[in-house]
Amino acid sequence: MAISWREAKECAAQEGLPQVYHDCDADVYGACRSGEKQGSFREGVFIEHRCICMPAHLKTEELEAKEKKFLQENPDW
């Protein structure tokens, strides 16, 4: 787990993972494989979280700008 896009990129580099994400429901960042779902279990049922996933090769500034743009264009998401 990470607290920023920068830390998520560091995790991706260390673990050799192709994507970084911001889990908007848990407000954490991280690195993952393509298609990997983020979420939590409640009463034995997996609840998928809303995440913004992007390629780990993007610069931190690009990740921040793309997330900001997406959230502005999708305020109810």
The residue extents of the domains of the chain are 5-73
Q: For tokens 């959230």, what's the residue? A: 71
- Encode pLDDT of 13-70 as tens digits: 999 999 999 999 999 999 999 988 898 899 999 999 999 999 999 999 999 999 999 9
The pTM of the whole model exceeds 0.85: yes
* Residues in contact with 8: Cβ distance below 8 Å, sequence separation at least 6, in sequence order: 2, 20, 21, 22, 29, 30, 31, 56, 63
For residues 49 and 39, is the Cβ–Cβ distance under 8 A?
Answer: yes
Q: How far apart are CA 77 and CA 67, in angstroms?
A: 12
